[in-house]
C-alpha cells in the first residue's frame, strides 16, 4: 500500500463495498475528486475574490451561482455554506435562542443538535418517539404545550430530523411542521441524511430552515454543509457585522455574523460545488436506492432470528438491525468471538460494520450498484449459512 509519510493511502472505497452508516452519502464523485486535486491549497477558491470580499459573491469558480442554485433546489429563500451540519445548527440557534429558552427537538436527535442548543444557552426539550420509533405531529403538539405551560414562554425554535440517524426512519415533517407552526414555533429540518440523497422541497415540507451535510450526503469532503432559510428569516439569520474597533475604527463590510465572514475557502468548497450537478441528478434516483436497501434488508430477514429495527418496508438506505438471535448466537462459541462476522465480510470485500459487533448494528447501502447490492445481500446469507444459521429462500 502506498504511503504519504507515515500515513497510509486510503483505499477502502476502491477495494471494498463500504456499508458504513455515516460514510455512504459522502463518498466523493469523480468530479469532486478532481476539484479537490486542483483546489487542494489553503484559500484556493479565493483567487478571484473581489469587493465585497465574501465567499457567496465569488464568480470564478462559480460560488455565487452555487449559493443561489442550492436555495432554489431546496425551494428555500437563501442558502449559505457552513463547515458541517453542526455549524448550521449553531448559526440558527445562536440567532434565535436566548439564555434559558426551552428548545424543542426530537428524542432521536443527533448530539450536535443538543450541544448547539446548549451553546446558545437554551434548554433541550425532547419530543418522545412513539412505539414505532417515529416522531409524530401529535407528540410534537403535546410537547410544545407541556413546555409552554412549564416555562411560560413559546420555544423560539424546534429541530426535527428528516431521517433520524438511529433508525433511518423517515418522519412526517409536513405534519410535525404544521403542528409547530400552530404555536408559532419555527422549524429547523435536520437533513443530514436526506439533503443530497433524496428530493427535498422546503416549502412543501413547510420548514423554516434546512441544514444539510456535505460530507454525509452531498458527496463532499468534511467538514462541509449547507444552511438554507426562508426569505422571512434571511435577515435574522444572516445579519451582517456592525461592530468597529474602538481604537482603529475598523469595520468589516458585509461579513455575516453567524458565518463569521467566510466559511469554506478551499478544497471543501470546491468539492461541494463540483459534486453538485451529480448530486442534483442522483436524488432523482432515490427510488432505486430504496430498492437496493430493501434487497439487503430482505436478505437479512431471510436469516432466522434477524429483526429489522427500522421501518420495513424500508424508506431509506440507512438501516438498524438486531442480530442477537442470529449472528450473535454464533459469536457465543466462535473462537474469534464477535469479530468473526466483520472478518468474514471483509474476506468477501465488504467493510463498514464495526468489528466485533454482532448484536445491534447499522448499515447504509447508499450509492451501491445493482451488482454490489446483490453481492452484499448474498454475502450476508452466505456468512450465516457458513456458520450454521438457518436461512430461508
In the complex, which residues of this chain contact other proteins (CB under 8 A)? 13-17, 27, 30, 33-34, 37-38, 348-350, 369, 371-372, 375
Closest distance between other proteins and the C-beta of residue 337, in Å?
Answer: 25
**Complex with other proteins: residue 34 or 329, whichever CB lies closer:** 34
Min dist. Cβ of residue 34 to other proteins (A): 5
Closest C-alpha to 282, from 63, 78, 26, 56: 26
Nearer to other proteins, 335 or 371 (CB): 371
Identify which of residues 124 and 349 has a Cβ nearer to other proteins in the complex. Answer: 349
CB closer to other proteins out of 13 and 145: 13
Please give the DSSP secondary-structure letter assigned to residue 127: E
For residue 301, the surrounding DSSP H or E stretch is helix 286-301
Q: Reduce the DSSP state of residue 320 to 3 states and report it.
A: strand
Select 81 or 365, whichever has its Cβ closest to other proteins: 365
CB of 14 to other proteins, least distance (A): 4
Length of the chain: 393
- 72 membership: H or E segment, kind and range: helix 63-73
Four-residue CA torsion sign, 29, 196, 160, 19:
negative
Closest contact distance (angstroms) between CB of 287 and other proteins is: 20
DSSP state at residue 195: B
With respect to other proteins, which residue has the nearer C-beta, 218 or 219?
219
Tell me if residue 360 falls in helix, strand or coil: strand
Give 15 or 62: the residue with its C-beta nearer to other proteins.
15
CB 280 within 8 A of CB 137: no
CB-based contact 165:315 (threshold 8 Å):
no
Q: How far apart are the first and last CA of the chain?
A: 40
Give me the least distance between CB of 370 and other proteins, in Å please.
11
Shortest Cβ distance from residue 365 to other proteins (Å)? 14
Q: Which parts of 195-266 fold into alpha helices (H)?
A: 202-205, 214-217, 231-237
Nearest approach in angstroms of CB 58 to other proteins is 21
C-alpha cell at 14: 476502491
Nearest-angstrom CA–CA distance, 181 and 187: 8
Query: How far is residue 96 CA from its own chain's centroid?
Result: 22
Amino acid at each position: 500500500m502506498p504511503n504519504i509519510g507515515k500515513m497510509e493511502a486510503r483505499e477502502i472505497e476502491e477495494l471494498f463495498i463500504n456499508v458504513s452508516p455515516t460514510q455512504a452519502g459522502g463518498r466523493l464523485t469523480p468530479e469532486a475528486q478532481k476539484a479537490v486535486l486542483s483546489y487542494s491549497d489553503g484559500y484556493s477558491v479565493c483567487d478571484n475574490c473581489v469587493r465585497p470580499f465574501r465567499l457567496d459573491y465569488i464568480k470564478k469558480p462559480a460560488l455565487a451561482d452555487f449559493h443561489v442554485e442550492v436555495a432554489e433546489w431546496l425551494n428555500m429563500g437563501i442558502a449559505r455554506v457552513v463547515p458541517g451540519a453542526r455549524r448550521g445548527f449553531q448559526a440558527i440557534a445562536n440567532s434565535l435562542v436566548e439564555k434559558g429558552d426551552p428548545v424543542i427537538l426530537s428524542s432521536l436527535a443527533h448530539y450536535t443538535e443538543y450541544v448547539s442548543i446548549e451553546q446558545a444557552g437554551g434548554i433541550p426539550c425532547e419530543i418522545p418517539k412513539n412505539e414505532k420509533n417515529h416522531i409524530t405531529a401529535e407528540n410534537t403538539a403535546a410537547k410544545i404545550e407541556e413546555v409552554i405551560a412549564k416555562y411560560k414562554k413559546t420555544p423560539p425554535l424546534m429541530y426535527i430530523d428528516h431521517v433520524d440517524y438511529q433508525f433511518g426512519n423517515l418522519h412526517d415533517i409536513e405534519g410535525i411542521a404544521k403542528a409547530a407552526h400552530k404555536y408559532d414555533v419555527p422549524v429547523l429540518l435536520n437533513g443530514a441524511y436526506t439533503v443530497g440523497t433524496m428530493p427535498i422541497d422546503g416549502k412543501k415540507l413547510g420548514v423554516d430552515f434546512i441544514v444539510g451535510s456535505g460530507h454525509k450526503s452531498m458527496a463532499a469532503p468534511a467538514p462541509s454543509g449547507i444552511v438554507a432559510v426562508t426569505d422571512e428569516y434571511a435577515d435574522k439569520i444572516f445579519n451582517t457585522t456592525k461592530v468597529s474597533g474602538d481604537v482603529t475604527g475598523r469595520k468589516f463590510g458585509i461579513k455575516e455574523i453567524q458565518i463569521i465572514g467566510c466559511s469554506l475557502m478551499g478544497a471543501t468548497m470546491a468539492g461541494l460545488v463540483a459534486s453538485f450537478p451529480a448530486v442534483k441528478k442522483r436524488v432523482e434516483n432515490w427510488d432505486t436506492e430504496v430498492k437496493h436497501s430493501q434487497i439487503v434488508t430482505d436478505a437479512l430477514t431471510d436469516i432466522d432470528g434477524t429483526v429489522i429495527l427500522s421501518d420495513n418496508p424500508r424508506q431509506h438506505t440507512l438501516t438498524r438491525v438486531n442480530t442477537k438471535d442470529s449472528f450473535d448466537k454464533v459469536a457465543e462459541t466462535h473462537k474469534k468471538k464477535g469479530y468473526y462476522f466483520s472478518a468474514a465480510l471483509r474476506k468477501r470485500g465488504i467493510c463498514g460494520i464495526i468489528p466485533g459487533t454482532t448484536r445491534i448494528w447499522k448499515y447504509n447501502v447508499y450509492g451501491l450498484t445493482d451488482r454490489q447490492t446483490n453481492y452484499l445481500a448474498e454475502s450476508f446469507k452466505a456468512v450465516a449459512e457458513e456458520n450454521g444459521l438457518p436461512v430461508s429462500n
